[in-house]
Structure 1
């Protein structure tokens, strides 16, 4: 399942399990998800908490909407 396929509640639960001291590999194996997925979610959480540099979740969402709108406008312009 793709990154956007997991509900926020599931992601939060996975990160909560990780915070209890469980290893990423163990959580990933038990839940049958990629360990890289967990690392990406953990990194995004750190960015959202301003502990690491990068685009916050809200900034990412805004950028996605803007890119979609630009694509629509470019299509209209081409017509």
Structure 2
């Protein structure tokens, strides 16, 4: 994955486009691809809270929390299996009786 562009570059590019500069020229002048700039433009209204949706930071947090949730559910399943296996069901050996 290519290195992320600095936030200052992103802000500058978005400001130039908002001022009416063409996307192609702005991208070329700043050394970024047009698709990169268009992605920034598509995400900008959401990050600026002008449009409903999930911000980039919220998306990252959701991904982290979903991963953590999966890990915790897996741990619960493992503990449940251990408990079931150690509760004695089907694991007892028959008692021996002494013959005198």
Q: TM-score, normalised to structure 2's length?
A: 0.58
Q: Number of aligned residue pairs: give it.
A: 76
Rg bigger for which structure? 2
Shift of 1:34: 0.9
**Alignment-derived partner of residue 39 in structure 1:** 38
Q: 1:1-79 alignment to 2 at 5 Å? A: 2=2, 5-69=4-68, 73=71
Q: Matches of 2:67 and 2:10 in 1, distance apart?
A: 25
1:70–1:6: structure 2 CA closer, same or farther, 3 Å change rule? farther
Gaps of 5+ in 1: none
Give the superposed CA RMSD.
Answer: 2.6
Shift of 1:44: 0.7
Shift of 1:58: 2.5
**Whose helix fraction is larger, Structure 1's or Structure 2's?**
1
Shift of 1:68: 4.7
Q: Matches of 1:67 and 1:23 in 2, distance apart?
A: 39
**Greater relative contact order, per chain length (Cα 8 Å cut-off, separation 6+):** 1
> Match of 1:5, SS?
coil
